[in-house]
């Protein structure tokens, strides 16, 4: 199902429909199994949580049990997905620096990473736990059908995204100041949430497409930066790697640090451009883009009127 709102369709009903279909699709994929099931389910949960943050700005909070279920599902799925990402990251690093590691070191490292993934698969998401996650997704989906969502008009949307944009500016500033991996990862989470939220608006305002693509690129660079940190820590925590291949570990550290430096520079430069406008300017820009679909002046919106009074 397209992850977007539709012109002329009530936003409240469309958001509910998107949430429920994302959860239904994830549940189905997990029950069917397959290599892509975990990745797709994890993406769907992140999309639903991004919508939840958007609705929170409109004074709606999902039931606590649903939020806790989504958090728990996210933790389980992230463990499995991170193990896949680490192997992919190592393969890319090896291709980028083909002569920095010996063939023996390459074989040893990849074998250890695959073994680590296998252990995670056995513990974190075996058949029974996959069924439990699917059951939890179904429970949230059914509950979402009863969520009492507020009425939202297209002209409310810029104000609803304002907090997410402001959070990104704050997180980016912190990452600029510290350049710590943890702060960059926290910024990445906020970028991803805003990216999903902006994608909801794309069909309403095609003029946002370029900005949405830049957010996607920013999230990818920050994601690669995080994956390199996870790769280093995974190998450093492996006693056999420390004993058998200390030189290879040092080489991995040097290579990944060099790549992270380049990624960090690109991400901060792009983020500086994307988040240069003040939040009020961001709201005005979104309002201009959405103006084209406002064919009439609708009835007063309590959400819009209340948010207009907030800084």
Per domain, the residue ranges of the chain are: 11-292
- Would you tell me how many other CB atoms lie within 10 Å of the CB of residue 139? 15
pLDDT digits (tens, 9 = 90+) for 41-91: 889 999 999 999 999 999 999 999 999 999 999 888 887 777 888 999 999
d(CA 201, CA 308): 20
Judge whether residue 172 has pLDDT over 90.
yes
Helix (H) or strand (E) holding 186: helix 181-201
Q: What is the pLDDT of residues 261-299, one digit of tens each?
A: 999 999 999 999 999 999 999 999 999 988 865 543 344
Please give the radius of gyration of the chain, using alpha carbons only, rounded to the nearest integer: 22
Summary mean pLDDT of the chain = 88
Q: What is the pLDDT of residue 302?
A: 46
Q: Identify whether the C-beta of residue 15 lies closer than 8 Å to the C-beta of residue 36.
A: no
Measure the CA angle with vertex 281, ends 277 and 283; round to 5°: 120
What is the token pair recorded at 204?
Answer: 């309403």
Least confident of 13-17, 73-77, 138-142: 73-77
pTM score, whole prediction:
0.88
Domain 11-292 has CATH 1.40.20.10: yes
Q: Quick one: pLDDT at residue 233?
A: 92
59, burial (CB in 10 Å: exposed 0-12, middle 13-18, buried 19+): exposed
């Amino acid at each position: 199902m397209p992850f977007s709102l539709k012109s002329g369709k009530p936003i409240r009903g469309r958001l509910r429909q998107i949430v429920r279909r994302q959860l239904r699709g994830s549940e189905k994929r997990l029950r069917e199994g397959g290599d892509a099931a975990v990745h797709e389910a994890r993406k769907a949960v992140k999309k639903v949580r991004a919508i939840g943050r958007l609705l929170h700005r409109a004074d709606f909070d999902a039931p606590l049990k649903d939020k806790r279920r989504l958090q728990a599902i996210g933790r389980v799925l992230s463990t499995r997905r991170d193990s896949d990402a680490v192997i992919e990251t190592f393969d890319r690093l090896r291709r980028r620096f083909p002569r920095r590691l010996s063939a023996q070191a390459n074989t040893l490292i990849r074998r250890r990473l695959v073994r680590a993934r296998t252990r995670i698969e056995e513990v974190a998401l075996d058949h029974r736990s996959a069924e439990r996650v699917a059951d939890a997704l179904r429970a949230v989906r059914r509950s979402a059908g009863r969520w009492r969502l507020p009425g939202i008009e297209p002209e409310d949307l810029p104000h609803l995204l304002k907090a997410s944009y402001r959070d990104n500016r704050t997180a980016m500033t912190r990452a600029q100041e510290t350049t710590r991996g943890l702060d960059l990862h926290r910024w990445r989470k906020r970028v991803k949430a805003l990216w999903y939220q902006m994608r909801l608006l794309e069909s309403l305002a095609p003029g946002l497409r370029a900005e949405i693509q830049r957010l996607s690129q920013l999230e990818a660079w920050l994601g690669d930066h995080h994956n390199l940190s996870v790769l280093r820590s995974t190998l450093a925590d492996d006693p056999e790697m420390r004993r058998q291949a200390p030189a290879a570990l040092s080489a991995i550290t040097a290579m990944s640090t060099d790549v992270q430096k380049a990624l960090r520079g690109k991400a901060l430069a792009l983020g500086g451009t994307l988040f240069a406008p003040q939040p009020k300017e961001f709201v005005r820009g979104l309002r201009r883009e959405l103006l084209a679909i406002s064919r009439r002046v609708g009835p007063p919106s309590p959400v819009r009127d209340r948010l207009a009074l907030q800084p």
